[in-house]
Amino acid sequence: MSAIRIAAVGDVHVDEDVLGRYRPALDQLGDRADVLLLAGDLTRHGTADEARCVATEFGGLAVPVIAVLGNHDYHSDEQDAVAKILTDGGITVLERSSTVLDVGGVRLGVAGVKGFGGGFAGRCTSEFGEPETKAFARHGREAADALGYCLRSLDCDVRVALTHYSPIPETLVGEPLEIYPFLGSYHLAQAIDSAPTALAVHGHAHAGTERGLTPGGVKVRNVAHPVIRQAYSVYELDPADLPVPA
Amino acid sequence: MNEYTEGEVQHLLAEDPRIAEQGIRVVRVDDGMVLVGEVESPDRCAQIEAVLREAFPGLKVRCDLGITRVGVPQEVERL
């Protein structure tokens, strides 16, 4: 089986003023990668108009495009319209769901969820106290549970987890410690480690760090645009080096 | 600029629909504040400056904001 090249970027915050900026680099994707992953915060305010700009900028590429939405994409309560516009533009939008692509005979499975905050082991929220606190903790845990289920259910050769929020604190280094609970949740890492996942990709933390590992040893990459400072990063996975399902 | 003003600026950066930025750092300096970070277009830098000057007319606001580059990656990371 040949190696798979995965391009990824998040937090592109597209609106009319960004149209065309990414296109010169995106037009070279066919020579550089097999798939493009978009790690959420594709828009500024989550409006249908902005989603049309995203579909224009990231649609019609030489490779399949798979996305999750981020918190900005929910801001105007138009997330369903945003997802539909992207889908109509040929972008596969995942939320508590997965997809499998054939990449040169290798079955690449991608499970995606926006995820949520909650914090990291020993320093996290719990379902205790006021309804608002319980709802905050529950939303993060349910998103992570769904991601774990999707990853474990995938029938594929190579598994990738795509989220907006971070599964680990290492890729948040550079952000103020005080806001870590709003940037990710260790339950996402638990979900990723519950399956033989090859790579986890997220965004959200603009001042974070690109590289980290889950406690189970899965490589994590923060592809927030201000972190990678290029149109996309490309990661190559060789199926021969990847974990084998137990 | 005191701590409360810094807090108000941070809220404005995220909540004013003309800005909607959560990744900008506010740095307090002797004669006002400097905004540090990156945004997606030159228009957004100008807009942020204009909104802050409108909301805090007495405050000296300087922007040290970059436009995030969109170049083609020069290397592939083998995992």
| pLDDT value at A244 more than 70 | no
Q: Is B64 on the interface with A (CB under 8 A)?
A: no
Contact A17 B43 (CB under 8 A): yes
Q: B51 lies in a domain? A: yes
Exposed / middle / buried, residue B37 (Cβ in 10 Å: 0-12, 13-18, 19+): buried
Residue B35's domain comprises: 3-67
Q: B59 lies in a domain? A: yes
Q: A246 lies in a domain? A: no
Contact B37 A14 (CB under 8 A): no
Contact A45 B73 (CB under 8 A): no
Total domain count, chain A: 1
CA atoms within 13 A on the CB side of A232: 28
pLDDT tens-digit readout, B36-45: 999 999 999 9
pLDDT tens-digit readout, A49-87: 999 999 999 999 999 999 999 999 999 999 999 999 999
Whole-number percent of chain A with pLDDT over 90: 94
Exposed / middle / buried, residue A56 (Cβ in 10 Å: 0-12, 13-18, 19+): middle
Q: Which two tokens stand for residue A127?
A: 């379902």
The pLDDT value recorded for residue B31 is 86
pLDDT tens-digit readout, A97-133: 999 999 999 999 999 999 999 999 989 999 999 999 9
- In order, the DSSP letters of A83-141 are HHHHHHTTEEE-SSEEEEEEETTEEEEEEEE-----EETTEE--S-SSHHHHHHHHHHH
B contacts of A207 (beta carbons < 8 Å): 23, 25, 37
Q: Find, in chain A, the residue whose alpha carbon is nearest to that of B77.
A: A235
End-to-end CA distance of chain B: 47
Q: A148 lies in a domain? A: yes
Q: Is A32 on the interface with B (CB under 8 A)?
A: yes
Q: B76 lies in a domain? A: no
Residue A75's domain comprises: 4-241
Longest dimension (CA), chain B: 52
Q: Tell me, what amino acid is at A13?
A: H
The pLDDT value recorded for residue A60 is 94
The pLDDT value recorded for residue A201 is 98
Edge to edge, what strands does the sheet with B77-78 contain? Answer: A91-93, A65-68, A35-39, A4-9, A233-237, B77-78
- pLDDT bucket at A245, cuts 50 / 70 / 90: low
Q: A227 lies in a domain? A: yes
Q: Find, in chain B, the residue whose alpha carbon is nearest to that of A25.
A: B72
Residues B31, B32, B37, B39: is their CA dihedral positive or negative? negative
ipTM reported for the complex, 2 dp: 0.90
Q: Is A191 on the interface with B (CB under 8 A)?
A: no
Question: What CATH number has the domain bearing residue B44?
Answer: 3.30.1340
pLDDT tens-digit readout, B38-70: 999 999 999 999 999 999 998 888 889 999 999
Measure B45 CA to nearest chain A CA, in Å: 12
Whole-number percent of chain B with pLDDT over 90: 70
Angle at A66 between CA A60 and CA A70, to 5 degrees: 115
Pair A190, A168: CB distance under 8 Å: no
Total domain count, chain B: 1
Question: What CATH number has the domain bearing residue A168?
Answer: 3.60.21.10
B contacts of A206 (beta carbons < 8 Å): 22-23, 37-38
Q: What is the DSSP letter of B8?
A: H
Contact B40 A17 (CB under 8 A): yes
| pLDDT value at A246 more than 60 | no
Contact A17 B41 (CB under 8 A): yes
pLDDT tens-digit readout, A29-38: 999 999 999 9
The Cα A46–Cα A68 span in angstroms is: 13
Measure B56 CA to nearest chain A CA, in Å: 24
Write down how long chain A is: 246
The Cα A188–Cα A194 span in angstroms is: 10
CA atoms within 13 A on the CB side of A137: 14
Angle at A137 between CA A204 and CA A68, to 5 degrees: 35
